[in-house]
Structure 1
Amino acid sequence: MEPLQALARVADRAEAWRRLAWPERAALLRACSRSAARRIRVWAEVSCRLKGADPASRWLGEEALLGPAITLRHLRLYAATLAAGPGTPRAAAAREAAPGQLALPVFPGDRWDGWLHPGVRAEVWLAPAAAPARRSGGPGGVAAVLGAGNVSSIPPLDALHQLLYEDRVAVVKLNPLMAPLAPVFAAALAPLVERGFLAFVAGGAEEGAALLGDERVDAVHLTGSHRTFDAIVWGAGEEGERRRAAGEPLLRKPVTAELGCVSPLLVVPERWDRADLRQQAFAVAGMVVNNGSFNCNAPKLILTSRHWPQRQAFLRELRAALAAAPPRPAWYPGAAERWARFAERYPQAESWGEAGAGELPWLLVPEVPAEPGQPALSEEAFCGVVAECPLDAAGSEEFLDQAVRFANDHVWGSLSCTILAAPTTPRPALERALAGLRYGGVAVNAWAALLFALGQTTWGAFPGEPPEDIRSGRGHVHNTGLLAQPQKSVLRAPFRPPLRPLWDPRHRFLRAAGLRLARFEARPSPARLLSLAAAAVLG
């Protein structure tokens, strides 16, 4: 179906969707879950092929995680929220995270969560002075969603946010990279598509421009780069720059966006034993290499203390972990050029891994000066590049205080941040850091990408980025509890996790674990949990 044909059909159903009661919406989502569950394998197989990976390889498990597993989890959690109704969400459990600011515990949310992620806790921090409440009744109308090209759960999840949080029907214009998944998405969410509440369409820039400019579209959401946002909101070239300087947008509609970030990872300089150094280095390497590093939440800047006695030992373990991770196809446009720019700019850059045709080795850039304007601080590589920047801070408290200021003021973007903190880290300094970091998602001892995946947590830039200087975006997505006025999400995990993370490149059963997790999220049961646990424990 052509984009404008799809728009006409969906726009006619906007009022019907707005009138649809929460229990009826929950029933539709449960039907979508059953439909999507039947397409787990084909979804993952198509995703592998469009990224140049063999569907018979372990990467099928990664694509099952990145696509159907996360989507099925969100469908299940949204349905549970809608079935429960718009009552006040766990208000009695709220705590004061900062003066005048409440944090609401959201994870674990049910009996399954504690088994899936042992020891993990997450909160949504509300905007200052906000009280716990569910959003009930968004603005409604029609949304045009411009889908991401890197992770296959993003287009359906962005659509679900528009439907359930904003009360808008949606037309999703897929990134050309994701076009092969259009029939899979339409079949997976057929109960919504068949009733005219949602449509997935393919096309390029011309089709996207026609969709955004149509008077029937009330709002726009996109996942992509800040350059795409600028081109849409202000226009291209000199005229676009003139409009931005004058505050005269080309597109005069509400635009929300999830964009990029030079995602920092803070390594708190405590005493680690040898096993800790190796485990954390492999965990960091896994965060970098997942999905070929084409993730907006992949760590791109590791902040260390120059005075940490174990800094060089950690970097040696990180080098070994990157060398052990097989290079991946450089399937995302411009990856080779961006990789080459960083390699040329930093003569100390080190490449790890034997790359074959169409692949790139992993690039580690140690000893980046802590100077504003350094490319490693101000440009998102969006490929297999990670830099290390040592700060002149002695001790954990001084390091955390300095690293928070440095990340907030000199590192580009505000999407997500990860902290590695041993149990000996001073608690007041860590809590001060969590309150002070101006990021939409902060994770301690786990990859911040978990905040993207869990569903109960929010995902998006820290509020307040002006459209004239957009970086990581505006607004948020996910938030399956439909919490009103979120500011950021904070996650805490054990420093020594009981299970090897699925993103660890050493995981031996990724293929089985990814497929089994997707099936579990479709319909949780003790039997499916045991099957998943076997793959997780053996990994």
Structure 2
Amino acid sequence: MTATSQPVDHTGLDRLIDELRRGANAWASISLHERAALLLRTRDAVRDTAAAWADTAIRIKQTPPSVRGEEWLAGPYITMATLTATAQTLTTLARGGNPVDGIPVGQAPGGRITLEVLPHGVQEALLLNGFSGAIWMPPGVGIDEVRATAGLGARRPTESGGVGLVLGAGNATLIGPLDALYELVAHNRVSVLKLNPTFAEMLPVYEKAFAPLIRRDLLRIINGEGDVGEYITGHPDVGHVHITGSASTHDAIVWGRGTEGERRRATHAPLMSKPITSELGGVSPIIVVPGKWSDADLAYQAENVATQKLQNSGHNCIAGQAMIMSSSWPQRAQFLDAIRKVFDSLPPRENWYPGSDRNMARAQHAYPHAERHGGRMLIEVGDSTSDELYRTEYFSPVLGHTTIPGIGVDFLRNAVRFANDRLVGTLGAGLIVAPHDRKEMGGAFTEAIAELRYGTIGINCWSATGYLAPVMPWGAYPGNTIDDVGSGIGVVHNTRLIADPERVVVNGPFRPFPRSWLGGEASTAPPMPWFVTSKANTSASKALTHYAGHPGWGRIPGVFKAILMP
């Protein structure tokens, strides 16, 4: 059945924006204590709708039973964790504290300081055992400057940020709501959240989950096609736009489409002059540092790579797409075989995101010798093939691999240059390295990481782990402009409200427990429940969501039980 396009209801949208304008003024009179309490009431509303939220997303995506935990984690779980952490930051500010109080400060190459924000507290240390993460500040920014600006708009709660438009992404159900939440807390800006048409069915769920914010005229959530977004973008009472999507959509908003858009860009005469922030994806590398790995290491890291590519059927802006290996690594063929085995073992999965089949056909055309494994593609890219995979985000289950020379530090430096210079985008990068090899590289390893220009870097874990930890800022490596937007401008999440971070670096265990101890890692982490191969994918995700709805010691045993005895 074909949907019939309806005229845009200008009167209804005008009324909605007027309600939000009044809500923005009211927000400026709400104390930080009241704001924190409102966020916790919103968390409780999300908790009450968690099952409906996950079930609706599962139905939309036709998610297979073995990985339905994805819709719990990348939905109500992270949303509730973000609301809790943000409320804690507002409470700290209300009491006269600073959001970075209690955070250890470290050093990184190039005159950078780091904020060691993960894990924070004993409960988080237990739940994320084996993981650590830090926010890196730009060179020359000291802790005094960080402290003076931490809190962003919440430091100036009486200043209204007006009304903004959030154009929600259509691949993960948490993105749009959390973008709107960040606008509210970090910039004192209320939002119209326009859903991507893929998530039209989510509207009644969202309306219940975010009812506390909607009742206070701080948020409106609507469906609509592009003409609805176009009208709101041009509305005189809407002062800011935030988009999660593609660079082409961003450019269409800023410059327009077709030859007119090209003319505007050439003359630097944007169609839209309002400020715009964005998160736009790219081609994410997975750098594999050569080492001497056991068969178990090869199998585990193959599952790691498969997860980075195949979670959500590859429909992620942060999905690993270009795996970079050493041409001198004796185990390279063995590792590729392990990846093929994982690809072949997974149950069939719907390429549900619009355009995915077209993208795969494009990849097949560019690489006629591409391997097919259970509906997934594995492509070798080299000097004799097209380099389209480096320049095109396929947003589908397509994994490329290539080789460059070198071992140890030489390889890592070459791989960093390759990722920086050859791949499109700067959102996230993954790196796999055995503890022994990392130790041998010493300070040169951290220096190489400092040269890797990505917003989030995951070492021995998917960079999306930074997305699972709402304390981490999420966005492209800084420096993009509307003329060359790359992977976007600005950050979201960032529950400590740190101003102008440079990047995030997250570390995970190279081996799960108990093999981690044999390899010298102080980790008791079992295989990660978000792996696409995990038998605990759904049970652990539900347990984590239950914990996030009302954090406390009494719920932690249930999480471990769900992970260890799914």
Give the TM-score normalised by structure 1: 0.95
Mark the CA change 1:450 to 1:23 in structure 2 (over 3 Å): closer, same or farther: same
Mark the CA change 1:318 to 1:96 in structure 2 (over 3 Å): closer, same or farther: same
Maintained 8 Å contact 1:414/1:438: yes
SS of the residue corresponding to residue 83 of structure 1 reads: helix
Q: How is 1:323-472 mapped onto 2 (pairs within 5 angstroms)?
A: 323-353=344-374, 361-369=375-383, 374-392=387-405, 394-425=406-437, 426-472=441-487
| CA distance, structure 1, for counterparts of residue 490 and residue 496 of structure 2 | 16
| CA distance, structure 1, for counterparts of residue 422 and residue 381 of structure 2 | 16
Name the residue aligned to 1:45: 55
SS of the residue corresponding to residue 538 of structure 2 reads: helix
Q: Percent same amino acid among aligned pairs?
A: 36
| Unaligned segments of structure 2, at least 5 residues | 1-8, 514-525
How far the C-alpha of 1:369 sits from its partner, in A, is 3.5
Mark the CA change 1:70 to 1:369 in structure 2 (over 3 Å): closer, same or farther: farther
Maintained 8 Å contact 2:308/2:320: yes
| CA distance, structure 2, for counterparts of residue 513 and residue 128 of structure 1 | 39
Instruction: Give CA-to-partner distance per residue, 1:469-497, whole Å, 9 cap, x none.
Output: 22210001000011112111111112113
Instruction: Give CA-to-partner distance per residue, 1:422-456, whole Å, 9 cap, x none.
Output: 01222323201221111000010111001111001
Which amino acid is the alignment partner of residue 31 of structure 1? R
How far the C-alpha of 1:502 sits from its partner, in A, is 2.0
Maintained 8 Å contact 2:286/2:431: yes
Name the residue aligned to 2:4: none
How far the C-alpha of 1:91 sits from its partner, in A, is 7.2
How far the C-alpha of 1:370 sits from its partner, in A, is 9.1
| CA distance, structure 2, for counterparts of residue 88 and residue 538 of structure 1 | 37
| CA distance, structure 2, for counterparts of residue 446 and residue 235 of structure 1 | 38
Name the residue aligned to 2:549: 522
How far the C-alpha of 1:193 sits from its partner, in A, is 0.7
Which amino acid is the alignment partner of residue 366 of structure 1? E
Name the residue aligned to 1:358: none
| CA distance, structure 1, for counterparts of residue 382 and residue 72 of structure 2 | 36
Name the residue aligned to 1:99: 110
| CA distance, structure 1, for counterparts of residue 291 and residue 90 of structure 2 | 44
Residue 161 in structure 1 maps to residue 182 in structure 2: yes
| CA distance, structure 2, for counterparts of residue 59 and residue 303 of structure 1 | 27
| Unaligned segments of structure 1, at least 5 residues | 354-360
| CA distance, structure 1, for counterparts of residue 299 and residue 199 of structure 2 | 36
Maintained 8 Å contact 1:3/1:201: no
| CA distance, structure 1, for counterparts of residue 106 and residue 70 of structure 2 | 36
SS of the residue corresponding to residue 470 of structure 2 reads: coil
| CA distance, structure 2, for counterparts of residue 78 and residue 110 of structure 1 | 15
Name the residue aligned to 2:69: 61
Tell me which of 244, 268, 275 is aligned to 1:254. 275
SS of the residue corresponding to residue 112 of structure 1 reads: helix
SS of the residue corresponding to residue 490 of structure 1 reads: strand
| CA distance, structure 2, for counterparts of residue 408 and residue 428 of structure 1 | 20
How far the C-alpha of 1:159 sits from its partner, in A, is 0.5
Mark the CA change 1:7 to 1:277 in structure 2 (over 3 Å): closer, same or farther: same
Name the residue aligned to 1:9: 19
Which amino acid is the alignment partner of residue 352 of structure 2? W
Which amino acid is the alignment partner of residue 261 of structure 1? G
Maintained 8 Å contact 1:365/1:387: yes
Maintained 8 Å contact 1:289/1:325: no
Name the residue aligned to 1:116: 127
How far the C-alpha of 1:13 sits from its partner, in A, is 1.4
Maintained 8 Å contact 1:90/1:104: no
Name the residue aligned to 1:357: none
Maintained 8 Å contact 1:104/1:132: no
Which amino acid is the alignment partner of residue 419 of structure 1? L
Mark the CA change 1:339 to 1:92 in structure 2 (over 3 Å): closer, same or farther: closer
Count matched residues. 528
Q: How is 1:167-182 mapped onto 2 (pairs within 5 angstroms)?
A: 167-182=188-203
Cα RMSD over matched residues?
A: 1.6
Maintained 8 Å contact 1:91/1:132: no
Give the TM-score normalised by structure 2: 0.91
Which amino acid is the alignment partner of residue 544 of structure 2? L
Tell me which of 280, 286, 292 is aligned to 2:301. 280
Maintained 8 Å contact 2:27/2:160: no
Name the residue aligned to 1:356: none
How far the C-alpha of 1:173 sits from its partner, in A, is 0.5
Maintained 8 Å contact 1:322/1:352: yes
Maintained 8 Å contact 2:99/2:496: no
Residue 501 in structure 1 maps to residue 528 in structure 2: yes
How far the C-alpha of 1:18 sits from its partner, in A, is 2.3
Maintained 8 Å contact 1:34/1:522: yes
Mark the CA change 1:497 to 1:369 in structure 2 (over 3 Å): closer, same or farther: farther
Mark the CA change 1:370 to 1:458 in structure 2 (over 3 Å): closer, same or farther: farther
Which amino acid is the alignment partner of residue 226 of structure 1? A
| CA distance, structure 2, for counterparts of residue 439 and residue 451 of structure 1 | 12
Mark the CA change 1:456 to 1:88 in structure 2 (over 3 Å): closer, same or farther: closer
How far the C-alpha of 1:78 sits from its partner, in A, is 0.5
Mark the CA change 1:369 to 1:25 in structure 2 (over 3 Å): closer, same or farther: farther
| CA distance, structure 1, for counterparts of residue 499 and residue 111 of structure 2 | 16
Instruction: Give CA-to-partner distance per residue, 1:340-360, whole Å, 9 cap, x none.
Output: 11112113310101xxxxxxx
Name the residue aligned to 2:83: 75
Which amino acid is the alignment partner of residue 4 of structure 1? D
SS of the residue corresponding to residue 272 of structure 1 reads: coil
Maintained 8 Å contact 1:508/1:538: no
Name the residue aligned to 1:321: 342
| CA distance, structure 1, for counterparts of residue 260 and residue 225 of structure 2 | 22
| CA distance, structure 2, for counterparts of residue 80 and residue 232 of structure 1 | 36
Instruction: Give CA-to-partner distance per residue, 1:281-303, whole Å, 9 cap, x none.
Output: 01111221111110111100000
SS of the residue corresponding to residue 383 of structure 1 reads: coil
Name the residue aligned to 1:84: 92
Q: How is 1:181-200 mapped onto 2 (pairs within 5 angstroms)?
A: 181-200=202-221
How far the C-alpha of 1:410 sits from its partner, in A, is 1.1
How far the C-alpha of 1:168 sits from its partner, in A, is 0.4
| CA distance, structure 1, for counterparts of residue 63 and residue 340 of structure 2 | 24
How far the C-alpha of 1:365 sits from its partner, in A, is 0.4
Tell me which of 144, 147, 152 is aligned to 2:165. 144
Which amino acid is the alignment partner of residue 211 of structure 1? I
| CA distance, structure 2, for counterparts of residue 419 and residue 489 of structure 1 | 13
Maintained 8 Å contact 1:369/1:389: no
Maintained 8 Å contact 1:232/1:251: yes
Name the residue aligned to 1:300: 321
Which amino acid is the alignment partner of residue 249 of structure 2? T
Mark the CA change 1:533 to 1:369 in structure 2 (over 3 Å): closer, same or farther: farther
